[in-house]
Amino acid sequence: MANRSDITPELCRQLLRYEPETGKLFWRKRGMEWFSDRRSYSTWNAKYAGREAFLVRTEDGYLKGLLLRSSFRASRVVWAIVHGVWPKGEIDHINGVKDDNRVANLRDVPRSVNARNRGMRRNNRSGITGVKLDLNSLRWHATIRGNGKNLFLGSFENRVDAIAARKAAEVEFGYSEGHGLQR
Q: Supply the pLDDT for residue 54.
A: 98
Q: Residue 56: what pLDDT?
A: 98
Distance from C-alpha of 130 to C-alpha of 59, rounded to nearest angstrom:
24
Q: What is the pLDDT of residue 2?
A: 67
Of 111, 109, 107, 110, the closest CA to residue 95 belongs to 107
- If phi > 0 it is left, if psi is from -120 to 50 it is alpha, else beta; for residue 103 that is alpha
Low-confidence ranges of the chain (pLDDT < 50): none
Beta strands in 78-164 (DSSP E): 90-93, 106-109, 131-134, 139-146, 149-156
Residues in the chain: 183
Contact 165, 142 (CB under 8 A): yes
What letter would DSSP give residue 34?
A: G
C-alpha angle with apex 38: 37 to 43, nearest 5 degrees?
Answer: 105
pTM: 0.73
Sequence-distant (6+) residues with CB within 8 A of 80 are 8, 9, 12, 86, 87
Concatenate the DSSP letters of all residues of 43-55 into one string: HHHHHHTTSEE--
- Which domains does the chain carry? 4-109 (3.90.75), 119-172 (3.30.730.10)
- At residue 69, the pLDDT reads 92
Closest CA to 176 of 97, 125, 110, 114: 114
Residue 10 burial class via C-beta count within 10 angstroms: exposed 0-12, middle 13-18, buried 19 and up:
exposed
User: In the sheet that 52-53 helps form, which strands lie side by side, from edge to edge?
Assistant: 16-19, 24-27, 52-53
Per-residue CA distances from 167 to 140, 141, 170 (Å): 14, 13, 5
